[in-house]
Amino acid sequence: MISFTKHEGAEITNDMMHGIATLFSENYGIWGTAVEGRRQGQRVRSSPARLKSDCLPEAPARNFLVQAKDADVLIGHVLATRWAFEGLDICWITQLCICKRYRNQGLATKLLAKLSEHDNDGGYGILSSHPFAVSATLRALGGGLDQVKECTISPRIRDIMASCPVNYVRTAKLRGSLFDSEVTDGTVSSADTGFFVDHAESDAALYEIQRKGIEWPFGRLPEGHEFLVFIERS
């Protein structure tokens, strides 16, 4: 039976970080052709220390980990941070990873739903190169991808991201027609994060979404970029 647990701050132990680093390193993706040297084509890996540095900022940010386990085996996790912006609590999903053998079972949606339990967030954000992660976020925290007929985003998104305690979010460079009406290369809502993961898996996921007749409103994804989604809560 699959169980879900939510942990905050000091409840996130070193053993937990080792577990999620292993899951990430074995399941996340591979480096693309833009990466130089021996890493090209190799699996994207991260150490517990690197994950903590990249995804769990210092106080006053509030950090969260939601784990999914089958018996005692970790099969999925989500990392997120919350902070205050102009009187609102903003929650940014900094990592979402599912074991390959457990994908396409709604696990990501359930992890994100658990993350949002008992919290009064004013908005949720995610940067991800994977359309299934975007779809799960919209399903758990918004109206679902099939309800998004046109891509829109908060006019305050630049300020929200600039205030984020997570470095890669704060320094991301927005790209797409949603932010610049003169953009005509097919990008709509993305950000340059310098994350050159191979897009073959994400392209296959996007094909599956579109094969079901669901429109993809976020545009194309250039190398080194991630789709940007921000869901406002009233």
| CA 48/CA 22 separation, integer angstroms | 8
Q: In this structure, what CATH number is given to the domain that contains residue 55?
A: 3.40.630.30
In the block, tokens 């296959």 appear at: 204
User: Do the Cβ atoms of 107 and 4 come closer than 8 Å?
Assistant: no
Residues 6+ apart with CB under 8 A from 103: 132
C-alpha span between 136 and 106 (Å, rounded)? 8
Q: Is the pTM of this model over 0.85?
A: yes
Across the chain, mean pLDDT equals 94
Q: What is the CA 75 to chain-centroid distance, rounded?
A: 17
Could you give the CA distance from residue 201 to residue 207 in angstroms, rounded to a whole number?
A: 10
How much is the pLDDT for 150? 63
pLDDT at 146: 75
pLDDT recorded at residue 37: 82
pLDDT score recorded for residue 95: 98
On whether the CB atoms of residues 75 and 17 are closer than 8 A, the answer is no
Within 13 Å, how many C-alpha atoms sit on residue 143's CB side? 8
Whether cis (ω within 30° of 0) applies to the bond prior to 60 is: yes
Tell me, rounded to whole angstroms, the distance of Cα 184 from its chain centroid: 25
Is there a contact between 92 and 80 (Cβ–Cβ < 8 Å)?
Answer: yes
What was the pLDDT predicted at 149? 58
- Work out how many domains the chain is built from and give that number: 1
Tens of pLDDT, residue by residue over 155-210, are 999 999 999 999 999 999 999 999 999 999 999 999 999 999 999 999 999 999 99
The whole domain housing 110 covers 2-232
Distance (Å, whole) CA 129 – CA 162: 20
Task: Collect the ranges in the chain with pLDDT lower than 50.
Answer: none
Whole-number pLDDT of residue 119: 84
